[in-house]
């Protein structure tokens, strides 16, 4: 929270609520870390002025599903399938010490900010001990982005470490209005017996936590959403990930239960999750965000993810999603999927000032003012991200992260990666 006033002046503003719209030559006024006003010719009295004349101004991206710790395993699962990916996690994950989780999560979170992701859900299935969980939370705090720490179950574990989830919720992440909040990220009905799921769901209810998990037709459950229904375990505040291999009737059940979803089209394509699911989720009426998922297998920025979603829908859907649909998924719908639409995902006054500025005067963005929404979704790249604000705090300016020692983080991440690979 900041008491300072910041005026972002004369930008090509894209707001995303209720649907993406371009506001040419428009100002954004920030007060006390929140959006105060959006409009032309706003007063600059006492404000720090950011000239946005050659900038697209839009809400920061929301990455609704990411295993941030995999920044130390970049590219390691490219060229394999889901079985190979699981083997990588099973072999590498147990080698991570708490200090490795810390630096991998910090570096991954800084990568998010650098590319314009201001909010992410960290599905942290590297919590081999309470110290591992604490290291990930410490790193998210240090990175300075808005994050939901998803307390995950390691792939080699058999249960969800209920006692430590309770500790973290009550002792570390009790405040649901903080910059770093909490979710529960268990194996779920596709990978764990329904009795285990029931126990974990009860705990999530008791702790008032969002539950998020990967959902697919698997040998454990061919119809995992029906399995939840039959056990009386459908709930709101539930974020389903993927869903490519389950039927439209199960997607409809997700929508009817008031739950949400996220698709990670880059990782889904690379790891054999089959056909794109974004269009099917939309037709079923499920509020759906986008996610990077795993940089061991897929690109780590939302521009690449938006492109994958757009191209996948062109191939898979009779009425493909539009660029505006995709941008909304990457911002407002992602925030809604995480239960954070009251504070981020658009430029509506009163929301937290999570805002990014993209350069229109970079060579790949010249003339993009003709259709900034199309350009953001089809042309923009992480290097176009000039300025990033989180809750009104400037964390990137003039194309450089300003609040973190990137050289130190890079050195530590390389050391961790070498240690993991060498063990
Ligand atoms: Zn995942």
Q: Kindly report which listed range (160-164, 183-187, 303-307) carries the lowest average pLDDT score.
A: 160-164
Residues of the chain with CATH 3.20.20.140: 61-337
Gap between the terminal Cα atoms of the chain = 43
Going by C-beta distance under 8 Å and a sequence separation of 6 or more, which residues neighbour residue 387?
Answer: 50, 55, 355, 356, 357, 394, 396, 397, 398
Give tens-digit pLDDT for 83-114.
999 999 999 999 999 999 999 999 999 999 99
Query: Nearest-CA neighbor of 394 among 181, 113, 14, 149?
Result: 113
Residues of the chain with CATH 2.30.40.10: 5-59+351-401
Q: Is 235 exposed, middle or buried (0-12, 13-18, 19+ CB in 10 A)?
A: middle
Question: Which pLDDT band holds residue 73 (cuts at 50, 70, 90)?
Answer: very high
Instruction: Please check whether residue 242 is in contact with residue 277, taking contact to mean a CB–CB distance below 8 angstroms.
Output: yes
Q: Report how far ligand 1's centroid is from the alpha carbon of 241 (Å).
A: 7
Question: Which pLDDT band holds residue 225 (cuts at 50, 70, 90)?
Answer: very high
DSSP H helices in 125-207: 130-143, 162-167, 194-206
Q: Report how far ligand 1's centroid is from the alpha carbon of 47 (Å).
A: 42
Q: Report how far ligand 1's centroid is from the alpha carbon of 18 (Å).
A: 28
Q: Report how far ligand 1's centroid is from the alpha carbon of 19 (Å).
A: 27
pTM of the model: 0.97
Helices (H) and strands (E) in the chain, counts: 14, 17
Half-sphere exposure of 243 (CA within 13 A, CB side): 32
217 φ, ψ (degrees, to nearest 5): -75, 120
Instruction: From residue 125, give the alpha-carbon distance in Å to each of 26, 122, 294.
Output: 42, 9, 12
The structural architecture, per CATH, of the domain 5-59+351-401 is Roll (2.30)
Q: Report how far ligand 1's centroid is from the alpha carbon of 213 (Å).
A: 8
Q: Is 80 exceeded by the pLDDT of residue 3? A: no
Q: Report how far ligand 1's centroid is from the alpha carbon of 358 (Å).
A: 28
Q: Report how far ligand 1's centroid is from the alpha carbon of 287 (Å).
A: 18
Going by C-beta distance under 8 Å and a sequence separation of 6 or more, which residues neighbour residue 158?
Answer: none
The CATH topology of domain 61-337 is: TIM Barrel (3.20.20)
Give tens-digit pLDDT for 155-179.
777 666 888 999 999 999 999 999 9
């Amino acid at each position: 929270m900041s008491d300072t006033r910041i005026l972002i002046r004369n930008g090509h503003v894209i707001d995303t609520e209720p649907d993406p719209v371009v506001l040419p030559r428009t100002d954004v006024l920030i007060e006390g870390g929140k959006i105060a006003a959006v409009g032309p010719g706003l007063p600059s009295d006492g404000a720090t002025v950011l000239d946005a004349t050659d900038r697209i101004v839009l809400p920061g991206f929301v990455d609704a599903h990411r295993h941030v710790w995999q920044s130390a395993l970049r590219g390691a699962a490219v060229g394999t399938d889901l079985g190979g990916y699981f083997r990588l996690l099973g072999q590498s994950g147990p080698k991570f010490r708490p200090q490795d989780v810390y630096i991998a999560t910090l570096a991954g979170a800084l990568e998010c900010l650098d590319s314009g992701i201001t909010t992410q859900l960290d599905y942290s299935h590297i919590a081999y001990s309470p110290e591992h969980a604490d290291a990930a939370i410490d790193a998210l705090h240090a990175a300075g982005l808005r994050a939901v720490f998803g307390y995950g179950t390691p792939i080699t574990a058999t249960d969800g470490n209920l006692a430590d989830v309770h500790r973290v919720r009550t002792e570390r992440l009790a405040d649901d209005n903080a910059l770093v909040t909490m979710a529960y990220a268990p194996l779920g009905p596709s990978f764990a017996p329904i009795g285990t799921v029931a126990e974990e769901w009860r705990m999530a209810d008791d702790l008032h936590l969002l539950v998020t998990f990967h959902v697919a037709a698997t040998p454990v459950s061919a119809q995992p959403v029906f399995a939840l229904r039959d056990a009386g375990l459908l709930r709101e505040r539930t974020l389903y990930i993927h869903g490519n291999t389950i039927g439209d009737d199960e997607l409809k059940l997700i929508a009817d239960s008031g739950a949400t979803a996220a698709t990670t089209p880059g990782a889904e394509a690379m790891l054999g999750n089959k056909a794109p699911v974004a269009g099917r989720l939309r037709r079923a009426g499920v509020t759906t965000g986008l996610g990077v998922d795993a940089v061991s297998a897929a690109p780590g920025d939302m521009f690449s993810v938006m492109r994958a979603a757009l191209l996948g829908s062109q191939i898979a859907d009779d009425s493909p999603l539009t660029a505006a649909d995709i941008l909304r998924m990457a911002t407002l719908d992602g925030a809604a999927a995480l239960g954070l639409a009251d504070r981020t995902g658009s430029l509506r006054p009163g929301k937290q000032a999570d805002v990014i500025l993209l350069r229109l005067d970079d060579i790949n963005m010249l003339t993009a003012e003709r259709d900034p929404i199309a350009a953001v979704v089809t042309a923009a790249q992480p290097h176009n991200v000039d300025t990033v604000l989180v809750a009104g705090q400037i964390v990137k300016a003039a194309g450089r992260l300003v609040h973190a020692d990137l050289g130190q983080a890079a050195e530590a991440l390389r050391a961790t990666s070498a240690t993991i690979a060498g063990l």
